[in-house]
Amino acid sequence: MTELVNKDQSRNLDLPCLGLDGIQIFAPTADQRFLGGSSTFLRTHFPIKLQSHPHIGQLKNVTEQHLLNIILNPNPNLLGNRVFVLYGAAGSGKSELLRWLQTQITQNDTLRSNVTVRISRTELDVFQIVQRFQQMYTEHSFELTTQQRWEICRQKPRTLAKILVLTALERLLDSDEQINAIYYQLIDLVQTNLEGCFAAITQPSDEVGQFIELFSRENLWEVLKNSVIPIPIDYETLRYHLLKVFREQLLENTYLPHTLKGIAERVQAEHHQRPILLIDDLVQSINIFATDLLDYFITLEEGCWDIVVGITPASLEATKRGKELLDRINFLDTIDDRVEKLWLSDEYGLYSSFLDETNCIDYARLYLSEYKRQNHQSCDTSCPIFDQCQNLDPEQSEELLAPFNRELLIRLFRSLPSGKGKVRYFNLYLRNILEQLSKGEDVLQVLEQYVKSEQAVYHHDRTIVQVYELYGPLFDPSLPNEENEASSFSGLHHFFKLPPFETNTPRPVLAPLIQNNLIHLSEVQMTPTSSLPIDPGKLAIKAWLQNEPVNKQLLRDLRRGVIKSIKDGYFLDTLTRLNVANPTRILRWAQTRLETVPPVQLEGVDNFEGLSIHRSIGPLAYTLYDFADATGATEQKLRSQILASEQFPFILFRGMAYRQSTRDKLEQVLGIKLEELAFCLLTLANGLGRCPVELPPAIEQKIGVEDNPLTIRYPDGIESERPRLTNNQLGIIRRLFDDCFKLRENVYDGLLLEEIAEQIEPQQAITLLRRIDPSKISTDFRLNDEPLGIVLSGILNELETLIRLGSDERTKKLLFSICEVGLGEDIAERQLADLLKLPGDLDSLLSNFLQECHPFTLHKVLGLVRLIEEVQRTRTLNQVRQMLSTLIPNQNGDITPVTTPFEVFSRFELETLMKICQPDFRLPLNSFALDFLLKLAQHLPNLYEQLELRLRFG
């Protein structure tokens, strides 16, 4: 692979507008930014647009100015509270909007400003908040002892929990037994929640505030379930008394809803104005009393407040009571528009109602202009490097975006974490980037920490790769790839002082990282709040190409694409002959690694053996990744791109080499070539009388094919040990033979067959097969989807059974008994005599035959023995009939043919019958088997009587 190089090891931007003084403008909260002055705040305030849903399925946009006008110009006849609920995830802009409303009210309406109260998201001390309202109502602060008690209780949350729980339970329960049953469990719960509340006061968090109650409905249910006695208490009653004790002990029994109502009445009477209450985040600021206050706000007749309250839905959904309150707001009747629900984002922070890809550039320009102003540097032609920076923003004559450009900012916005407030994190990313650049850090390295590009650039120069990926034109899925790659990058070269490309210098190659189903669409439906989904698999490929750590599981589709592209024209996993018509591909290499057959070994990632793929394939990796699951026209288009790639032939050659290597390993274990294995197996099948393939006569003659009956049988004593090749095994042998030798239908490779037939005689075929050790064959070699070793073991076991019969004494006895009776002139008898080389010393001839005979000859001999047995039986049967006819005359003394069913007698019993019929018959009684005597008595009663008399009288 061409190594990535970076000619300039450090890309520090020497821009006069960079500095740490202006970083304060990117403060995390609106109130912190407001500390720089209201003019600075207003110059950097980006107009906020909210969304409302007046009816199901309808969407209405509400501007911040419209909301301000509604608040400042109420209907004179309006009575009761008026509530504007701002829904938004943490960081969605609720505090920004409320600070802007407060500033505008102060500047535009002094009277209303005097009766405006705002509780910011950083005001978390419940005691201080309640005291503010108490001063407005009674014009005096809490007693000094009350303040001291509050500070002491913050240091002793368990003591406070004991007081609250015990006092509340004493007011509700009638016996100590009932109190003790739940007292200690409730203390632990209340203490934990109090500690959480006090910790939030001491150290506020920027994260979403969790809704804290002294205890939840779920907590009480669990406590009552664990109680050994029934406790007559319900959640709302216990909660009410706990909060009442809390107010009595720490807040001089101040009840906020009552106080707020009193303040409203006082302001109405003295100033004839509607008081305004702005709460950035109800849960984070009020917390313990959050649900009570919200309940008061939406009880519309209990005051005359204009209330704008921010709510983070995720914080209320933690408990059933919080969910019930949210549901109550969602389904609240909004008669006279006294309750209006407005959204700054969805509840999960996935989108913003006013900041998206279409306007994030304007948002950033607003802040960047103020940032440069704070650094005492104007961004216009008076700047010495204005012309250089204008290369990033050529359409602008002042207030440039440098060190960003439009494309970079959009990519930065797309890279914001999902589920976080878009506004807060866009602001935070800008701050962090500028702060790091102001400290002299490498601009490209800094940006790579925050920006995820939607396309990868392949080039040997690392700097060019970074610049093009971060600052280059955005990938447009509605345009052909050629048009996406045809954009000019000259401005980027000028800004970063990159040399122009020479004539023969390879140009950067761009590859989109978005999901494949969007790359090849002619029309993509995009909304301002949506972004192109980046494919994690392509990000993994990018990391792999850059020799960075990578999750190998994400490279799965790259492996699959490699295999699919090769198998399109080359059966990579097939080990038999290729380039033949209709191969059955019965013998395959089925090793699997990471769901790929055969395995693909990626350079620097995998430590197993497989088809080696190097990083030098470059951007072709992205095309192969998309090709893995492509279908239809998209598949055809990608296939054309793959075939046109200069790197694909190298992949194909490696595939061929890998297949040959795999085949060589198999042949090394087998000890013979695959074609020789197929030929030997066919020879075995033919030798056992099963010919699955019709071969040319010359070949059949060389391997000894004869017209043997397909139903050949052995003598009864050894029939169970006759080698049997199943139809499945015969089919496997035939298909393997076809894959190795068949060129097309009914046409075999005669030259190769003759060559192998000349080299391997039937005896040698058996020897070669017996040398194979199936246990050493990897189970990944598959024959007809079964492990090759198991298939061969089953076939070779049948061969070994036949060979063992050659040394079995039963075989010799069978042959001896057949030959001892005498062989006649029947064809089978003559063939057996020729094979045994009779006449001669029978014992010696049989011993020599069994020691030297070929297994196929033995198979044939045993088949002949079965046939000769039948011939000799028939001959003996006829002789017995003839002798019995002369021995047993009828009533008239005439000789009649015997019709006894002799089939029930064995050959040995028939020979015994012949001896009984002889005049000089002499045999002891114990030489007759009981079964034989019973057959004799049943089928030949006259002969049985004669035998009984002869045995009785000698």
Residue 482 has pLDDT above 60, yes or no: no
The CATH code that applies to domain 47-125+255-343 is 3.40.50
Averaged pLDDT, 232-251: 90
Three-class SS string for 556-588? HHHHHHHHHHHHCCCCCCECCCCCCCCCCCCEE
pLDDT tens digits for range 705-728: 555 444 578 887 888 888 888 889
pLDDT band at 557 (very low <50, low <70, confident <90, very high): very high
d(CA 659, CA 589): 9
Averaged pLDDT, 149-155: 91
pLDDT tens digits for range 250-266: 888 888 888 888 888 88
pTM of the model: 0.73
The domain limits of the chain are 47-125+255-343, 145-250, 360-506, 536-575+593-663, 671-805, 809-953
Widest Cα–Cα separation across the chain: 157
Task: Report which of residues 601 and 816 the model is more confident about.
Answer: 601
Average pLDDT, the chain: 83
The whole-number pLDDT of residue 392 equals: 92
d(CA 464, CA 470): 10
The whole-number pLDDT of residue 848 equals: 84
Residue 926 has pLDDT above 70, yes or no: no
Least confident of 189-193, 399-403, 513-517: 513-517
d(CA 355, CA 425): 12
The whole-number pLDDT of residue 717 equals: 80
Extended strands (E) in 313-426: 339-343
- Pairing outcome for strands 786-787 and 781-783: antiparallel
Q: How far is CA 222 from CA 226, 235, 238, in A?
A: 6, 12, 15
Residues with Cβ < 8 Å from 99, sequence gap 6 or more? 30, 31, 34, 41, 118, 120
Averaged pLDDT, 745-757: 86
Contact 617, 508 (CB under 8 A): no
pLDDT tens digits for range 881-890: 666 665 555 5
Residues with Cβ < 8 Å from 132, sequence gap 6 or more? 117
Task: Report which of residues 703 and 814 the model is more confident about.
Answer: 814
Contact 892, 724 (CB under 8 A): no
Residue 5 has pLDDT above 80, yes or no: no
Task: Report which of residues 484 and 258 the model is more confident about.
Answer: 258
Task: Report which of residues 531 and 503 the model is more confident about.
Answer: 503
pLDDT tens digits for range 498-512: 888 877 778 888 888
Q: Helix axis angle, 620-627 relative to 536-545, nearest 10°?
A: 150
Residue 1 has pLDDT above 70, yes or no: no
Q: What is the DSSP string of 273-312?
A: ---EEEES-HHHHTGGGHHHHHHHHTSTTS---EEEEEE-
Least confident of 440-444, 581-585, 604-608, 655-659: 581-585
**What percent of the chain has pLDDT above 90?**
38
Task: Report which of residues 708 and 223 the model is more confident about.
Answer: 223
Residues with Cβ < 8 Å from 784, sequence gap 6 or more? 586, 728, 731, 732, 735, 791
Averaged pLDDT, 371-383: 92
The whole-number pLDDT of residue 882 equals: 64
Residue 12 has pLDDT above 60, yes or no: yes
Averaged pLDDT, 816-842: 79
pLDDT tens digits for range 895-924: 555 556 666 667 667 667 666 666 566 666
The whole-number pLDDT of residue 524 equals: 43
Q: What are phi and psi of 190, to 5 degrees?
A: -65, -40
Least confident of 51-65, 200-214, 262-276, 395-409: 200-214
Exposed e or buried b per residue across 470-495, where buried means at least 16 C-beta atoms within 10 angstroms of its C-beta: bbbbbbebeeebeebbeeebeebbeb
The whole-number pLDDT of residue 207 equals: 54
The whole-number pLDDT of residue 810 equals: 86
The whole-number pLDDT of residue 922 equals: 64
Quick check: helix, strand or coil at residue 593?
strand
